[in-house]
Amino acid sequence: MAPRDRGRGRGSAIRVSFDTRVKYEIRLEAGGFDGLAAEVARVAPGRRAVLVTDRNVFEHHGSAVRTELERGGREVLELVVPAGEPSKTVARAGKLWDALVRAGVDRSTPLLALGGGVVGDLGGFVASTYLRGIPLIQVPTTLLAQVDSAIGGKTAVDHALGKNLIGAFYQPRAVFASMAALETLPDREYRAGLAEVVKAGVIGDAELFERMEADPAAVLERRPALLRDLVRRALAVKADVVSHDPNETGLRAVLNLGHTLAHAIEKIEGYRGALHGEAVAIGLASAARLSKRRGWTSAEVSRRICALLEAFGLPTRRPGLTVEEVQVALVRDKKTVGDSVRFVAPASIGGTTFHWVPVASLARQLVAAAA
């Protein structure tokens, strides 16, 4: 559309207007990384590729991924960062930018983020800001990343005063999830990832929830066919929400179910206590109990959510929180606007509702529900 010029008193205005179309595929592969090179070639043709990963993931999967990419004719620039949240800093992003500039990486070269949430967030942020954006391919290797963080275009690094405060919405060109990668996942991390699968069920897929409810032991055994089904359904829920609200202006807030308290707990513990998924389990269960008390959901729904989380050996309570510390954390939350939080309640298995709650009041209710 051409801009229009309109007179208006002493001034005039010209309009800029356009639509940007985003479209990408999330591929689930039953096996390892076969087919990754073809996927990269499909979305970002060229002779080079940048591989951002962490030391742990590199040990498990580095050579398989490199071999696959080299077989596809790519020269691979490997950038390996220390594992863990402390790598999500502006300083670390700076080192990666330096490496890309020095290697003369051009705009057409894809960056693959191979790993869990930390690598996806950091690699995604670097891809989004280097030369104003180069093609990003997410290759999540944890359950949490496969069903949640690798999809939806959120990238970020942490600030000394808060997590994920510096970042961008930047959609990947493709997501490649290998089921085989989940086999090497430590038990605690696998269980933590299940909290996001439970969340997906509560938000938008009652059948997913019921399948897990029917046989939690089979889920914990990681039976391949069941596992693939769970991952596929959970990420479909997220993909659906993100498709409708890429930049978190409305609907997307449903994904925040259980996360208000989860983020507060992580903050209070200095990100050295519960894993993210464990904090989400506590947040989900507390949101369910709070919603039951407020009449936003039934006792039965609340009970089923808590029971499923417990069947996965996940924590559902966090006694000893103070209202003050939770309130401080809520005030700093990105999603807090003015003095209120848009709280997501699990209205049913498969559906949510929104409720604006003043920060002070919400802090009190969450502390009580978590105790």
Q: Does residue 154 interact with a second copy by CB under 8 A?
A: yes
Member of 55, 60, 95, 159 binding a second copy (CB under 8 A): 159
Residue 171 CB, nearest distance to a second copy (Å)?
Answer: 7
- Please say which residue, 75 or 187, places its beta carbon nearer to a second copy: 75
Cβ-proximal residues to 92 (8 Å cutoff; 6+ apart), any chain: 81, 122, 157
Considering only residues 64 to 103 of the shown chain, the ones binding a second copy according to CB under 8 A are 90, 94, 97-98, 101-102
Binding segment toward a second copy, per CB under 8 A, in 242-250, 282-290, 291-299, 353-361: 242-250
Output the CA–CA distances (angstroms, integers) from residue 22 to 145, 172, 174, 235, 238, in the order listed. Answer: 20, 9, 11, 17, 16
CA distance 22 to 37: 22
Considering only residues 107 to 136 of the shown chain, the ones binding a second copy according to CB under 8 A are 107-108, 128-133
**CB contact at 8 A, 315 and 276:** no
CA distance 30 to 38: 16
Member of 50, 80, 86, 247 binding a second copy (CB under 8 A): 247
Segment (H or E) for 154: strand 154-159
Q: Does residue 225 interact with a second copy by CB under 8 A?
A: no
Considering only residues 260 to 319 of the shown chain, the ones binding a second copy according to CB under 8 A are none
Residues in the chain: 371
- Please say which residue, 107 or 303, places its beta carbon nearer to a second copy: 107
Considering only residues 308 to 367 of the shown chain, the ones binding a second copy according to CB under 8 A are 331-332, 334-338
**CB contact at 8 A, 58 and 128:** no
Considering only residues 4 to 33 of the shown chain, the ones binding a second copy according to CB under 8 A are 5, 8, 10-31
**CB contact at 8 A, 346 and 291:** yes
Residue type at 66?
A: R
Member of 59, 70, 106, 221 binding a second copy (CB under 8 A): 106
Residue 249 CB, nearest distance to a second copy (Å)?
Answer: 10
Member of 166, 220, 226, 360 binding a second copy (CB under 8 A): 166
Q: What is the DSSP letter of 99?
A: H
- Please say which residue, 132 or 272, places its beta carbon nearer to a second copy: 132
Instruction: Mark 171-190 with x for binding to a second copy (rule: CB under 8 A) and - for no binding.
Output: x-------------------
Member of 43, 60, 77, 162 binding a second copy (CB under 8 A): 162
**CB contact at 8 A, 268 and 260:** no
Tokens of 277: 């998924």
Tell me if residue 336 falls in helix, strand or coil.
coil
# binding residues, a second copy (CB under 8 A): 77
- Please say which residue, 3 or 186, places its beta carbon nearer to a second copy: 3
Member of 38, 165, 225, 371 binding a second copy (CB under 8 A): 165
Q: What is the DSSP letter of 32?
A: S
Residue 159 CB, nearest distance to a second copy (Å)?
Answer: 5
- Please say which residue, 210 or 245, places its beta carbon nearer to a second copy: 245
Residue 349 CB, nearest distance to a second copy (Å)?
Answer: 20
> For residue 115, which of 42, 172, 59 has the smallest C-alpha distance?
59
- Please say which residue, 231 or 308, places its beta carbon nearer to a second copy: 231
Residues labelled catalytic? 132, 154, 196, 238, 248, 252, 256, 259, 263, 276
CA distance 226 to 264: 33
List the beta bridge partners of residue 346. 352
Neighbour count for residue 263 (Cβ, 10 Å): 24
